[in-house]
Chain A
Amino acid sequence: MREIVIISGKGGTGKTSLCAAFAALARNAVLCDLDVDVPDLHIVLNPKDGEGHVFMGGNKAQVRKEDCIGCGQCADLCRFDAITMDEDKAHINELNCEGCGVCVTLCPQKALDFPAARCGDWYVGETRFGPFLHAVLVPGQENSGKLVTLLKREARELARQSGRDLILCDGSPGIGCPVISSLSGATLAVAVVEPSLSGSHDFDRVARVCAHFRVPIGVIVNKADINPEETARIIAYCEREGHTILGTVPFSSDITRATIEGKALTEIDSDLAACLARIWEKTDALAASKARERLQLRAFSKTTLA
């Protein structure tokens, strides 16, 4: 089983466009949009969704005003500045509430409720490139890390059941909670890097996150001709750090054109199609070799431990 997650550090480097092209080239992978915060892959994949599944999460404390005696213990306990005393009643600032439940458990009057909120829905859809898992989060809701973990678990289950050995995931920008959740258990992280000071800076951060969690990285420099000097620096950095360069993609308005038509880049008449096919071949081969290494390592530790 190979599990490829596309990341970038900086946003807007082309993760989703490349992921859609790879989905078309991979044929029959399980596809998954892990950028649950602002998902876009469905715009190109145009899934026929099955039944929606509710995603509950984010319990938040709620005061029953009639039972609150205004002792203020909850406000003293709260480490997130989420409780203020207002006219001798506790008042919860929902934005600050971390959902730890400490106030709920320790209220002497048991005057706090702790309902889970519907954070969104997730779907398994059918697309022309294979099954596709994605979610629609209520904007402004949190718990995206938990939802990422859930989607990945479901994607693995679906892959097992349907005998597919490749999961291809579109990831989020940044290096925080959703990115870390998406990297967990991944065979290969594919970093789509843009040759700019910001792009390099943020790539360095996300590369260190991958190293921290021991996920190998392959690198694609997108819009490479916008700044050839920076592209050269990124390639040198990767060689130094031992990250495989999967290829470079020139800047092209074909990417926007394809998206507007609701198509993957490889589905329109574009000079980039051949270039992307080569990059995908290399990406899949690298993921396969990393998966083999992992199996060997597991077999080795089993035999040596036995």
Chain B
Amino acid sequence: MRIAIASGKGGAGKTSVAASLGSVWAAGHIMADTDVEAPNLHLFLGPEIHTSSTIALPIPTQILDSCTSCGKCHDICRYGAIAKLGAKLKIFPDMCHACGGCFAVCPENALVQGERVIGELREGSLKNGTPWISGATRIGEVMTPPLLRALFKRLSSMEEAYAEEKGTRPDVLVDAPPGVSCPAVTVGSHVDALLMVVDSSPFGLHDFQLAHEAFGKLGKPLACVLNRAGMPGNEKGDETVRSYCTEHNLPLLAELPFEREAARAYSSGQLLSDLSDSWKARFQNLAQALGQTFAHTTCGRPACAK
């Protein structure tokens, strides 16, 4: 089963929770970092990187002399990637969304297909052998979802390879991007269940409700973990999260306390689960609760249907 660790607000604690959960996860699993704009999971896991590959989109890069300037490519492009300058056509490769419309309509086959790199995928493994995958967008690139789709395609083959080798399908813990628009929703649509990390500050509460609304539309099981509970002066915020979860039938699986020491440990890349026995127990309990909550979730992917 693939579980995304998500949140509306950035900095709610997704990566900390994902990394620590991974360290206590009893079953065989894969760690996947899908926060491709700001990937951080590797900073906590220290994976050995085995392969890296660039991901590119097929785009028009050149117009041949056979172009008759009919303008059909310009007309079909909704992204302003092919401009008409007088009688001439000019390609703006950064604007292209790689829909292929221009190639499909050009009567002279006058467009040369090249590519624009949108990012990189890296694969490797942790010291204990747990496979790891991560993506990173190219600096200046606006298109995140195609990179995510490429990442999930790779992840599927990693799951297959794992199943073949060990005879059992791995779970996948997916560190998700923040927010509730394209990147987060793309990740949400490729997983089987979502664990929302909730920050109970006024900003966090607001974003949590937006996230609940957005992820709720995916029709997948959701659960929550309250992070930085007991922040001095914010008792009311914690209480709001608890009653919101009860009211909306959202399982609140754990509360992780606010501790300055935890913030310091996090800042230097230390796992919260390594901080103390009680922190470790918190994540073991959370892992167990997650297993129980999502136990009856059968994932929709064909390979899993058996």
Q: Please give the residue numbers on chain A whose beta carbons come within 8 Å of chain B beta carbons, in ascending order.
A: 8-13, 16, 37-38, 40, 43, 77, 79-81, 95, 98-102, 105-106, 137, 139-142, 144-145, 172-180, 194-199, 201-202, 205-206, 208-209, 212-213, 223, 226-227, 229-230, 251, 253, 256-257, 259-260, 262
Contacts and interface: CB of A to CB of B under 8 A. Distances in A.
Interface core residue of B38, B143, B201 (most chain A CB under 10 Å): B38
A18 to B, nearest CB: 12
B101 A174 contact: no
B181 A142 contact: yes
A176 B144 contact: yes
B210 A176 contact: no
A196 B98 contact: no
A180 B143 CA distance: 11
Contact of A140 (B58, B185, B263, B266): B185
Nearest to B10: A11
A210 B38 CA distance: 15
Interface of B: 8-12, 15, 37-38, 40, 43-44, 58, 76, 78-79, 97-101, 104-105, 137, 139-144, 146, 149, 177-183, 185-186, 189, 199, 201-203, 206-207, 210-211, 213-215, 217, 231-234, 236-237, 260, 263-264, 266-269
Contacts of A77: 100-101, 104
A177 B203 contact: no
B105 A10 contact: no
B239 to A, nearest CB: 13
Contacts of A37: 179-181
A265 B202 CA distance: 14
Given A11-B9, A40-B207, A253-B233, A105 B101 contact: yes
A173 B203 contact: no
A198 B40 contact: yes
A219 B269 CA distance: 22
A209 B202 CA distance: 30
A226 B38 contact: no
A11 B180 CA distance: 13
Contacts of B101: 77, 100-102, 105-106
Contacts of B269: 196-197
Contact of B210 (A38, A106, A177, A209): A38
A69 B99 CA distance: 23
A42 B184 CA distance: 23
A100 B38 contact: no
Contacts of A8: 10
Nearest to A12: B11
A180 B217 CA distance: 28
A49 B98 CA distance: 39
Given A12-B10, A256-B234, 12 more contacts: A10-B10, A43-B206, A81-B149, A101-B101, A102-B104, A105-B105, A173-B178, A174-B178, A176-B137, A194-B11, A206-B38, A227-B267
Contacts of A198: 15, 38, 40, 43
Q: Rank and list the top 8 A-B pairs by shortest CB-CB distance, nearest first.
A: A11-B10, A12-B11, A100-B99, A196-B267, A174-B37, A139-B214, A140-B214, A173-B10
B100 A102 contact: yes
Nearest to B199: A12
Contacts of A100: 78-79, 97, 99, 101
Nearest to B203: A40
B105 to A, nearest CB: 7
A212 B12 CA distance: 29
Contacts of B10: 8, 10-12, 173-174
A95 B76 contact: no
Contacts of B43: 197-198, 201
A176 B142 contact: yes
